[in-house]
Structures are given as structure tokens and as C-alpha cells.
Amino acid sequence: MSADSKKIFTDFAAFQKSYPAYKPGAPWVGVLFYKSNLTNDQTKHLDALIQSLEQAGFNVLPAFASISSDFGKFFLEQTEAGTARSRVRVIVALGLKIGIIPAKMAPQLQALNIPVIDAIPLYGQSQKEWEKSKVGLDLFERSFQVANPEMVGIIQPTVIASREKKVDPATGLTYIENHPIPERLARLTARVKAWVRLQDKPNREKKVALIYYNYPPGKNNIGASYLNVLPESLWEIFLHLDSLGYETGRQAAQERGVLLSKEQLFNDIMQFGRNLGTYAQGELAELLRQGDKVFHPGSGGPAYNRGPVLLPLVTYKKWFEQLPAAFRESVLKSWGRGGKQNHDLDRP
């Protein structure tokens, strides 16, 4: 679909030829939306999204399709080898929310093999209501705009528009309009740019964080009742990343005389990667005495780091002061002000 003329195309070549903002050599970004946005003339947020992406240097391919249809065909192209690949680098999904069936949708997303970002136009809240809400999205929004998409791997839910009451000056009638939120569009556009930069970066230069379940704080509670997190799941992820060329620390470990294995992974996490409670001062002190001491910010530690990453109190306070005032107040109310610098953490 052309955002300027609202003309509908079924052929990509014809769309590209008539696309007034086309930039040769620039990356393409797909935008999936609902057909009802067109039929109900509710396209302000869609137009604003496309404009934001175009101003960031992208070509934009907007398309609408029902979840039950083969929506992936709009974004696939045939290679010279006869295989299919995505012609877009990222998809921004205004649609793909209602009626998701993972068994039907997942194969299409797997064929595309690109990030799909969840762009959220609020359906039941104005911008003020959303910003003042203690829970953010209400239960209805969380269910179909966050939980449903996440079942098939649609990620990074980002609110970009709200529902606002407007008054027609000619008739005095009140109507509801999807109203774009500029700062939220900028946030989503920045995420798209970050994904494209990440795609262009060699795997070895990428930094990946593996976050595993370890709550509430304790000594032997890493994992979840329905998953074999440690060591099986983490070890399988490690092996896959290693096979794709990511820096996993394997070579650095060998240089230190350590052969990485499931057993070594288990021991390292149990020794250095537990979420210890502040009540366990003896355990915390022991953690500081063992392994490497890596200070942040700094030049970073070795690729195979066995020990805690330490944060000076002055750095924590600097970061804390950059947070929104309301959030800082809630933290102080629950936890009080930060204490004094622990001299056991001082740089040698």
C-alpha cells in the first residue's frame, strides 16, 4: 500500500516504482496493519509511523493481511538460487494481535527470520490515562497486545499511539481518533535502527546477555519448576551461540587451563552467578573474595570472567539521578537511600 495515495498494490515491483520516498540502497522495513485502519480512515498513527521510519533513512513497505492469510508473502523475495528470503530487515507489527495461532503463524515468521516489533496503538486509553496509570496497559491491552504476540516471538512491545476524543468543529459531534505520540514513535524508530545495526555487525562483536530465573534471592534456587535451566538449557544455548561465532569465552577459558563443559558452567554459576540475599553477608563476602574482580564502568574484564562485576556507589548514584522522578521516589520509599561505599569493593 502507498501511504501517500492509499493506493493498494499486489506486486512489489509496481509498488517500488511508484513509491515517492524510495531511496536506492537503503534498508527496507515492513509495517503490518489492519485493513480496518483504511476502511475506517484511522491512519494518522500509521502515517506518522511510516514518516518517522522514512525520516530515519528507511524504505517502508506497508501491508495489511489477516492473521489466517499468508502475510509473509508480502515480505519475501526469491534469490538467484531459488530460495526465499526476506526483502525487509525488520517488521513493525501494528496488526498481528487478535486470533493468533502459533502453529500457523510461527512457520511464516521463521521463514522471514527477522525481528518483528510489537507496535501498540492504545485501544482503551488516552495518553494521559496511560501515563497516569499505575499498571500501564490495562488487562485487556496486556492480553491481546502483549501476551498474544509474544506467543509467536513478536517482541519489544512499544506504545506509539493513544485513543483521543475529538470534537468536529463543524458539527460539534465527538469522535475517537488514533493519535500518534511523537516521542514513542521516536523510541520505536530507534529500536528499528538498532536492530539493523545489529544485523550488520559480525556475531563476534555482538554482546548478548542470558537472563535466567533466580528469584527470590537464595542459595540454591536457580531455575524454574517447568524448565531445566541449569545446566541443560543454558548449555544448549551456549553451544548454539558458539557455533554461530559469538564470543563465548571458550578460547579465553582454554588459555586459563579451563575446559568449558556443562559441569563447569554449573559450578561457575553456582559460585559466581547466584542472586544472593542481602541477609547472607557471609556468602556475599565470600563471593567478593573469590574469582576475578571486574569494575564497571571500565575497559571490561576477560572474555572468560569468573567473578562478580562491581559497580562503584558513585556510578550507581549517577545512574539513579537520571531516572524519572516518580520512579526514584518509589525506589526510595521501598528501599531507602543508598548506603556507603563498601571498601571491600574498592579498586586495588
Question: What pLDDT, in 10s, does the model give residues 312-347?
Answer: 888 889 999 999 998 999 999 988 886 655 545 444
Residue 322, C-alpha cell as written in the block: 537520571
Place of cell 522495513: 29
Region 144-154: mean pLDDT is: 93
157, 239: one domain: no
Question: DSSP labels for 98-163?
Answer: TT--HHHHHHHHHHH-S-EEEEEE-SS--HHHHHH-SSSS-HHHIIIIIIHHHTTT-EEEEEEEEE
134, 227: one domain: no
User: Mean pLDDT for the chain?
Assistant: 88
105, 185: one domain: yes
Length of the chain: 348
Do residues 214 and 221 make contact, with C-beta atoms less than 8 angstroms apart?
A: yes
Region 218-241: mean pLDDT is: 84
Instruction: Tell me what pLDDT residue 292 has.
Output: 75
Instruction: Tell me what pLDDT residue 299 has.
Output: 58
Of 145, 176, 200, the position where a domain reaches its end is 200
- In angstroms, the CA 346 to CA 348 distance is 6
Of 200, 227, 243, the position where a domain reaches its end is 200
Do residues 72 and 109 make contact, with C-beta atoms less than 8 angstroms apart?
A: yes
**Is 190 inside any structural domain?**
yes
21, 140: one domain: yes
Q: What pLDDT, in 10s, does the model give residues 162-207?
A: 999 999 999 999 999 999 999 999 999 999 999 999 999 999 999 9
Give the CA diameter of the chain.
80
| CATH number, domain with residue 57 | 3.40.50.10140
Helix (H, G, I), strand (E, B) or coil at 93: strand
189, 92: one domain: yes
Q: What pLDDT, in 10s, does the model give residues 84-94?
A: 999 999 999 99
Other CB atoms within a 10 A radius of the CB of residue 116 amount to 20
**Is 312 inside any structural domain?**
no
**Is 337 inside any structural domain?**
no
Instruction: Tell me what pLDDT residue 254 has.
Output: 86
Cis peptide bond upstream of 115, omega within 30:
no
33, 159: one domain: yes
Least confident of 153-157, 275-279, 322-326, 327-331: 275-279
Helix (H, G, I), strand (E, B) or coil at 91: strand
- In angstroms, the CA 49 to CA 60 distance is 10
185, 98: one domain: yes
Q: What percent of the chain has pLDDT over 90?
A: 53
Closest CA to 307 of 286, 293, 289, 324: 293
Least confident of 209-213, 216-220, 336-340: 336-340
Do residues 164 and 125 make contact, with C-beta atoms less than 8 angstroms apart?
A: no
The whole domain housing 51 covers: 12-200
**Is 3 inside any structural domain?**
no
188, 275: one domain: no
| 172, HSE (Cβ side, Cα atoms, 13 Å) | 0
Helix (H, G, I), strand (E, B) or coil at 297: coil
Domains in the chain, number: 2
Q: Is the pLDDT of residue 11 over 80?
A: yes
Query: Looking at per-residue confidence, does 286 or 195 come out higher?
Result: 195
Of 156, 176, 200, the position where a domain reaches its end is 200
Least confident of 66-80, 110-124, 184-198: 66-80
**Is 334 inside any structural domain?**
no
Q: Is the pLDDT of residue 14 over 90?
A: yes
**Is 159 inside any structural domain?**
yes
Instruction: Tell me what pLDDT residue 328 has.
Output: 93
181, 42: one domain: yes
- In angstroms, the CA 336 to CA 314 distance is 16
Do residues 208 and 246 make contact, with C-beta atoms less than 8 angstroms apart?
A: yes
Instruction: Tell me what pLDDT residue 313 has.
Output: 86
